[in-house]
Amino acid sequence: MKQKLLLLALSFVLFSVASNSFAEKYYGEFCWQVFSESGDPYWRYQLGIYEKEGGHLALYGSVDYGTNGNSASHGNAIYVGDSIKLTLVSADREEGVEVWAETFAAKLDPSTLHGTWNALTLEFVDGEDFTDHIHQRGTINLIACQ
């Protein structure tokens, strides 16, 4: 009987600790327009932002490349000094065309959530024997979600 009571008490404590360790706050959906260095609009992100315990920001959502449609995107953000560093990863298989994967890094102003970005992209086009790698950069602006 003592063992069962001890097991029950231990289970209650572990359950209480585990449920508190997964605490998070949802800030809502945020959208950004990505621009090239010359100011041409590229793609848009729509991401739900969650603050995890300890101040870590997790982002889950999509990237919209226009004619290619939406692809899954996720990442995280941290406060570093007087800026926010944001990293996103996206990948997709566009049927019959290509497979691509992208790592996107941005540095944002916390007061406007605008900033600058760099991205590294790998693309493999069906029927070709090589993988293309692309580096791009520009600016990123917070916009209203549609």
The pLDDT tens digits for 88-133 are: 999 998 776 688 999 999 999 999 999 999 999 999 888 888 888 9
The pLDDT tens digits for 67-100 are: 778 999 999 999 999 999 999 999 998 776 688 9
The model carries a pTM of: 0.80
Task: Select 24-143's CATH number: 1.25.40.10, 2.40.128.30, 3.30.360.10, 3.40.50.150.
Answer: 2.40.128.30
Q: Band the pLDDT of 13: cuts 50, 70, 90.
A: very low
Mean pLDDT of 19-33: 82
DSSP characters for 55-106? S-EEEEEEEE-GGG-EEEEEEEEEEETTEEEEEEEEEEEETTTEEEEEEEEE
| Domain locations in the chain as residue ranges | 24-143
Distance CA 40, CA 52 (A): 34
- What is the pLDDT at residue 10? 43
Nearest to 141 by CA among 1, 5, 36: 36
Distance CA 35, CA 117 (A): 9
Q: Could you tell me if 52 and 58 are in contact, meaning their C-beta atoms sit under 8 angstroms apart? A: yes
Distance CA 128, CA 97 (A): 11
Beta-carbon contacts of residue 65 (< 8 Å; ≥ 6 apart): 43, 71
Distance CA 93, CA 125 (A): 10
Mean pLDDT of 122-146: 92
Q: Band the pLDDT of 57: cuts 50, 70, 90.
A: very high
Distance CA 72, CA 1 (A): 52
How far apart, in Å, do the first and last CA atoms of the chain sit?
60
Mean pLDDT of 42-56: 92
Q: Band the pLDDT of 36: cuts 50, 70, 90.
A: very high
